[in-house]
Every structure is written in C-alpha cells, then in structure tokens.
C-alpha cells in the first residue's frame, strides 16, 4: 500500500484531506519489565503508524513507572491541559487505548469529553486508528474495552495480593530486610547482631529522647544505618513505624497482613508506647517553625469539591488557603481565600450565632427534649460496649495512619476525626446515663453557659492571642469550615475573595455542635 502524501498542514477552519494532522504522542509504562510496551517500543510503533496514516507527531508526553489508573500522572495532566488551552494539536496518538488510561469507564468518559470539547481525538496503533466517541458503535466499543482494561487492573492487583499472601503465609520474607534481621537459608527472617541496636532505639524513643538526639548518638558511636549513610530522623521514624519489629508481615500497602510471621524484636507494650508518642508528636508539630502563620490548618475544606484546603502565601505575601485538589490535579476551581478575611468571618458568625438568645433557647429546649425522650432508654452497659468498640476501631485507624500511602492520608484522617467525635459523644452519654435526670439537666445548663461564654468572647480572645494561641482557640472551637470563593476579575492575577461558607462547631452533643453559615 502506498504511503499517503500529506505534506501540507491545514490552516485553522479549513479542511484538506492531504494535510498532515498535528498530533501529540503519549507513552506510558508501569514498570521496566514491560518490554513489549516499553517507552522506546511505544514511540517506535507510534512514529511508524503516524507516518503511514497522515499524522505528524509534534510533541511527546511521557509517564514512566506509573499506573494508568492514577490521575496524578504529571505528563497525562499536562497533555489534557495543553489540549484544552494551547490547542496546538488535533489528535493524541497512543500505542494502545490502555496506555492512555486504565480508568473505570465513567472516569475515562470524563477525559474523553474534555478532549472532544477541545476538538482533539484519540488514535490508537493497536486499535488501528481513531477512537470514535461520537458514533454509538464506536463509543460502545471504546467503553467495553475500557471496562475490560479496568477489570484487568483489578484482577492483576488481586492476583498479586493472593500470590504475596501465599508466599508470606509459608513463612518466607518478601521485600527489604529490616535492620536487626537476616534472611535464613529457608527465606525466613532471623534476628542478627543488630537486634539489640533496634531494641535500644525503641527504648530511647519511649524514654523521650528526640529523633535527632538518637541519630546523633548513633552516628558518634559509628553504627551503620540501613542506607549506609549517617542516621537521620526519617530513617529512625521509618524504623519506629515498621510492624515487622513486632513479628507482623505487611505487604501490598496493607492489603496483606500476617501477625506472628517471624520472631519479634519489640514487645507489644514498648511498641504501643512508641506509637502513642509518635501520634502525640504528630499532633503537636508542623513542618513550619512555631506552626507557621496558618491558624486554620486542618480545618478548611473546599466547598466546591470537598478537598482539604492548605495554607500558602498569597499574592501579596499574606497567609491564604487554596484547594488541594486544584493545586495537585487542577480538577477543581482554584477556590482560594485570604486567611484574615476567613478568620474574621468565622469569628463574627460564631459570636452573632451564640449571642442570639433565640439560638440559645432553641438549643436548650432541643437538648432538654432529647433528654426527656431518650434518657430513659439509655442503657449504660450497652453504651459502654459501643464505646469499647469505637475505641478499638480508633486504635486500628491510628495504626493505619502510619501505613497508608500519602494520597490516602486525608481519608484516614477523616475517619479518625469521626471516630474521635463519636468517642466523645459516647463518653458523655455513658456519664449522662449514670446521672439522675435532674442532675443531668443542671449539667446541660452549665455546659450551655460555658459554651455561650467561650463563643461570645471569641473575637476578643483571638485579638489578644499570638498565632499559636489563635490556632489552639480555633481548633478547640471549630470542627470544620467549608469555603466558597470567587475571583474578582478576568485577569490571571486578580485576587480571590471569600463568597460564603459553612462552619461546623465542636461539641460533645450534636445539639451543641451547631452548623452555622456566613455570607
């Protein structure tokens, strides 16, 4: 077959069958072991197919070592952005449809729609040409293929997990050998001469030695670190969170967990004491000296997509908050707001809400009604049983926090916050169930007055406090703040202003933990 002669490019708005189609080549592979689907092999196949079919590859986008189901692919997101904004190509050519993505069909359709709106089509070498989203047959074919690719990924993950579990259950070790262990001839972990060093590190940490202090002493004594370099805080923290030291095998990001897999080096009381101290230190510290200037850290949520908003220096150098989902993937509106404006709105709204006598009377009446109707039904033993269950779940969630991937941290942290809130509610309920009704009503009235006094003086307290104290006051008062903002102009540097929001207040009773709105 003769190669089509297409040497001209089409000016915008004109059609010409002899014109070359400007295209971007997108290549991706998950591992170096994918020989047939390696980056060089994909590029060679795309070049050959493009030359034979009238496409001119003007740019390459490459994601190496990352799975096709991840939205966080840097080159992939840049490819989509360039298709929509730069508009310098009319097609994207891939080796196979699954190189573009292994998303579930619904998510894949989102990206197909964005490309279609931008006037860009997808062409695949293995599918022999353009993937037609605009015909029923083409769309169904692409969707079915996408579903199969997505299911293949899930099946492959399940197969890997099953295989790993089978090997681990035999007692053999897979992965990096932890310091303090050696690999025996049968593939099992056995303690070696560094086991006492590991035990010493755990004991020193429980004894309130700092990570830097422990590292400095180990380096002075000349002990080699697992990396062969000097000991550092990160190396020690990884060691202190490694469950291999209590004899547990953990693999596939926590999907496979086998207790009593090998001889432990650390006993459970020491392990639990270490994890408790780590948890407390994580709550008390931030990456910035003195906690930085951000007083609402961990409290602000994007009202548009639900993602956390994190502190960042604004356009004029003052603290502001920006949607994390936008910052990482650009899949949400920027939704940014200055801290000063947000804190003022939060404090003003809370004061106005709680200083309104009608609000207080309404809440007091609702709480009394709740006590009258539900207190007789409360069984202390049943509540204590539920409280114990929540405490166990909370312990597991805290342990999970130490093991999950970074992109899963917000989900686990949300779960921990919900469990803690439920734990506080149940503790109050147990206490209330053991009180006479009259004493319980008096307790509620006292609590109401305490809440009113605290909330009514919020602005005054914030004005007197330094930044760390402001942070403490707001974290004791506010559970979550949802934010909506708008841009003040079309200019790229136009500031964002707070439009409206919703505040969720803290409280050990749902009637006291009110939700308020500000405009």
Rounded mean pLDDT, 102-125: 88
Q: Crossing angle for the helix pair 74-85 and 105-117, nearest 10 degrees?
A: 30
User: Which residue ranges does the chain devote to CATH 3.40.50.1390?
Assistant: 8-156
The two structure tokens encoding residue 392: 């166990």
- 163-216 tens-digit pLDDT: 556 666 677 777 788 999 998 888 888 999 999 999 999 998 888 787 888 888
**Is residue 388 over pLDDT 80?**
yes
Long-range contacts, stretch 407-415, CB < 8 angstroms, 24+ apart:
407/72, 410/307, 410/308, 410/324
Answer with the residue of higher pLDDT: 443 or 206: 206
368 pLDDT above the threshold of 80: no
At residue 327, the 3 state secondary structure works out as: helix
Question: How do residues 308-354 score in pLDDT, each as one tens digit?
Answer: 888 887 656 688 888 887 777 777 888 888 888 888 888 888 777 76
Residues 395, 389: Cα–Cα separation, whole Å: 10
pTM (two decimals) = 0.35
pLDDT by residue (tens digit) across 117-176? 999 999 999 888 898 888 888 788 888 887 776 665 555 555 555 655 666 667 777 778
Count CA within 13 A, CB hemisphere, residue 214: 24
- Of the spans 45-54, 216-225, 295-304, 447-456, which averages the highest pLDDT? 45-54
% of the chain surpassing 70 pLDDT = 70
Q: Which of 456, 235, 274, 476 is nearest to 352 (CA)?
A: 456
Residues 46/126, Cβ–Cβ less than 8 Å: no
Packing angle, helices 437-456 and 339-355, rounded to 10: 140
Closest to 331 (Cα-Cα) out of 511, 168, 114: 114
> Based on C-alpha coordinates, what's the Rg of the chain?
29
Collapsed DSSP state (helix, strand, coil) of residue 16: coil
Cβ atoms 394, 471 nearer than 8 A = no
Percent of the chain with pLDDT over 90: 15
Does the pLDDT at position 369 exceed 50?
yes
The structure tokens listed for 59 are: 């740019």
Distance, CA of 58 to chain centre:
35
Of the pLDDT bands very low, low, confident and very high (cuts 50, 70, 90), residue 21 is: very high
Residue range 232-248: mean pLDDT, rounded? 89
Q: What is the pLDDT of residue 450?
A: 63
Q: How far is CA 437 from the centre of its chain?
A: 44
Residues of the chain with CATH 3.90.1750.20: 181-280
**CA distance readout (Å), 315 to 62, 312, 355:** 32, 10, 35
Give 54's pLDDT tier (boundaries 50, 70, 90). very high
* CB-based contact 432:378 (threshold 8 Å): yes
* Mean pLDDT for the stretch of residues 498-508: 76
pLDDT class for 228, splitting at 50, 70, 90?
confident
On whether the CB atoms of residues 35 and 45 are closer than 8 A, the answer is no
Give the side-chain half-sphere CA count within 13 A for 212.
0
Mean pLDDT of 225-239: 87
Residue 311 exposed, middle or buried by CB count within 10 Å (0-12, 13-18, 19+):
buried
DSSP 1: -
Rounded distance between C-alpha atoms, residue 121 and residue 132, angstroms: 8
**C-alpha–C-alpha distance, residues 90 and 394, integer Å:** 52
Q: Which residues contact 49 (CB under 8 A, 6 or more apart)?
A: 55, 93, 125
Query: When comparing pLDDT for 307 and 83, which is higher?
Result: 83
Judge whether 191 and 144 are in contact, CB under 8 Å: no
Reading the block at residue 253, the tokens are 């990001």
Q: Read off the pLDDT band of 25 (50, 70, 90).
A: very high
Give the span between the Cα atoms of 290 and 84, in whole angstroms.
42
Return the higher-pLDDT residue of 262 and 496: 262
Rounded to the nearest integer, the mean pLDDT of the chain is 76
CATH fold of 181-280: Hect, E3 ligase catalytic domain fold (3.90.1750)
User: What is the SS3 assignment for 75?
Assistant: helix
Segment (H or E) for 238? helix 233-240
User: Under CATH, domain 8-156 is a member of which superfamily?
Assistant: Resolvase, N-terminal catalytic domain (3.40.50.1390)
Q: Which of 359, 316, 337, 283 is nearest to 515 (CA)?
A: 359
Is there a contact between 326 and 334 (Cβ–Cβ < 8 Å)? yes
Per-residue confidence band for 11, with pLDDT thresholds at 50, 70 and 90: very low
Whole-angstrom distance, CA of residue 244 vs CA of residue 237? 14
């Amino acid at each position: 077959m003769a190669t089509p002669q297409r040497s001209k490019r089409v000016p915008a708005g004109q059609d010409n069958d002899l014109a070359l189609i400007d295209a971007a080549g997108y290549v991706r592979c998950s591992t170096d072991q994918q020989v047939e689907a390696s980056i060089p092999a994909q590029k060679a196949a795309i070049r050959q197919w493009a030359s034979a079919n009238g496409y001119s590859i003007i740019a390459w986008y490459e994601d190496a070592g990352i799975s096709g189901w991840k939205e966080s692919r840097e080159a992939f997101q840049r490819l989509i952005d360039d298709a929509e904004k730069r508009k310098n190509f009319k097609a994207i050519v891939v080796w196979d449809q699954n190189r573009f993505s292994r998303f579930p069909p619904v998510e894949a359709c989102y990206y197909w729609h964005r490309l279609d709106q931008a006037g860009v089509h997808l062409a695949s070498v293995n599918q022999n040409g353009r993937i037609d989203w605009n015909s029923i047959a083409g769309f169904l074919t692409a969707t079915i293929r996408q579903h199969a690719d997505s299911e293949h990924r899930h099946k492959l993950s399940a197969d890997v997990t099953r295989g790993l579990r089978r090997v681990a259950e035999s007692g053999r070790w897979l992965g990096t050998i932890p310091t303090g262990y050696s690999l025996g001839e049968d593939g099992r972990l056995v303690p070696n001469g560094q086991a006492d060093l590991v035990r010493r590190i755990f004991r020193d940490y429980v004894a309130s030695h700092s990570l830097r202090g422990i590292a400095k002493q180990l380096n002075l004594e000349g002990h080699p670190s697992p990396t062969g370099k000097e000991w550092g805080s990160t190396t020690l923290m990884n060691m202190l969170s490694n469950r291999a030291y209590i004899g547990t095998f953990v693999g596939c990001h926590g999907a496979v967990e086998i207790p009593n897999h090998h001889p432990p080096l650390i006993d459970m009381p020491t392990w639990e004491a270490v994890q408790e101290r780590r948890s407390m230190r994580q709550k008390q510290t931030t990456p910035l000296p003195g906690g930085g200037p951000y007083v609402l850290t961990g409290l602000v949520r994007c009202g548009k997509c639900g993602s956390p908003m994190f502190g960042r220096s604004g356009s004029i150098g003052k603290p502001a908050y920006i949607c994390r989902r936008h910052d990482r993937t650009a899949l949400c509106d920027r939704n940014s707001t200055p801290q000063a404006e947000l804190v003022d709105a939060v404090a003003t709204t809370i004061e106005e809400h709680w200083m309104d006598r009608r609000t207080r009377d309404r809440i007091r009446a609702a709480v009394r009604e709740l006590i009258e109707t539900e207190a007789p039904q409360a069984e202390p033993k049943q509540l204590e049983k539920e409280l114990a269950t929540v405490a166990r779940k909370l312990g597991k969630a805290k342990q999970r926090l130490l093991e999950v991937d970074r992109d899963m941290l917000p989900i686990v942290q949300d779960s921990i916050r919900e469990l803690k809130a439920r734990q506080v509610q149940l503790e109050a309920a147990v206490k209330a169930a053991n009180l006479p009704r009259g004493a319980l009503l008096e307790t509620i009235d006292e609590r109401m007055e305490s809440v009113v006094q605290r909330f009514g003086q919020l602005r005054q307290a914030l004005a007197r406090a330094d930044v760390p104290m402001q942070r403490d006051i707001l974290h004791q008062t506010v559970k979550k703040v949802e934010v909506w903002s708008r841009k003040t102009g079309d200019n790229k540097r136009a500031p964002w202003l707070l439009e409206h929001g919703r505040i969720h207040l803290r409280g050990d009773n749902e009637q006291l933990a009110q939700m308020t709105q500000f405009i």
